[in-house]
């Protein structure tokens, strides 16, 4: 019995020893892994702390840059406002000088003139007409600044520019109505100067009686009882007066090349 008991005890101790031999390596491995994880966590925490400090520094830089941008924006806005006011004042002054110069050039008869001779003529048309002067197309490119005529009575006149396009004439520009206060020779400045090209034809529209005298047989001014509008297209054959060969005392002033 004692022999068997000793054998059993010996066998049990052997099993425990073997079991201990198998558990100890696993525990060591787990401890080693745990230490590695603790080290990695510590490293990660240190990196997070470093990035947090960097973010705070960058946020401070962003805040400072925002402040600088706001200051620059305010300064730029101030400069733009001052520049806009100055440009407006300069433009107003220049426009006033241009108007004075235009009036001086027109009144002084110092500009190029395109149109019929400004003399008193024998006949007058009482019907409101639109006159198209084919006898005096623009000889060169340039800028028109005024209109002149020998008027027979106070009236309203509109000046238009017709540009030849294939077999038609396109109305590309029209002035506002200009008031003529009295009969006789008058030169009026256009409110807005207009550029013209060689070959453009002038038209003169009267909403009241056509208060410009004319002669027959010496010109090539055709007419229509219709009023023209911007963008209208017309053929020369649609106008009246081809056989009469009217010459009117009206034309335009400008600076031509």
| CATH of region 114-256 | 2.60.120
The string of pLDDT tens digits covering residues 186-241 is: 999 898 889 999 999 999 999 888 999 999 999 999 999 999 999 999 999 999 99
- Per DSSP bridges, beta strands 221-224 and 233-234 are unpaired
Whole-model pTM?
0.61
Domain ranges (residues) in the chain: 1-110, 114-256
Q: Using 70 as the pLDDT threshold, list the residues of the chain that sit under it.
A: 1-25, 91-110
CA distance 128 to 234: 19
């Amino acid at each position: 019995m004692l022999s068997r008991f000793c054998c059993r005890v010996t066998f049990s101790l052997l099993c425990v020893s073997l079991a201990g031999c198998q558990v100890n390596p696993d525990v060591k491995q787990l401890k080693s892994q745990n230490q590695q994880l603790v080290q990695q966590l510590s490293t990660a925490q240190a990196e997070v702390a470093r990035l947090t400090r960097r973010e705070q520094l960058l946020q401070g830089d962003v805040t400072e840059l925002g402040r600088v941008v706001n200051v620059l924006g305010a300064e730029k806005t101030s400069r733009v406002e001052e520049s806009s006011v100055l440009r407006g004042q300069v433009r107003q002054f220049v426009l006033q000088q241009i108007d004075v110069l235009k009036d001086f050039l027109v009144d002084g008869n110092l500009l190029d003139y395109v149109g019929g001779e400004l003399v008193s003529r024998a006949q007058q048309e009482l019907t409101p007409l639109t006159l198209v002067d084919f006898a005096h197309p623009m000889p060169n490119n340039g800028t028109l600044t005024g209109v002149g005529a020998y008027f027979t009575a106070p009236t309203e006149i509109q000046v238009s520019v017709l540009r030849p396009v294939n077999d038609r004439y396109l109305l590309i520009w029209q002035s506002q109505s200009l008031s003529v206060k009295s009969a006789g020779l008058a030169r009026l400045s256009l409110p807005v100067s207009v550029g013209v090209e060689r070959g453009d034809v002038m038209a003169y529209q009267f909403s009241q009686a056509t208060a410009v005298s004319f002669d027959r047989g010496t010109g090539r001014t055709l007419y229509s009882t219709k009023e023209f509008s911007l963008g209208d297209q017309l053929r020369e054959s649609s106008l009246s007066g081809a056989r009469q060969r009217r010459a009117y005392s009206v034309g335009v002033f400008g600076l031509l090349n």
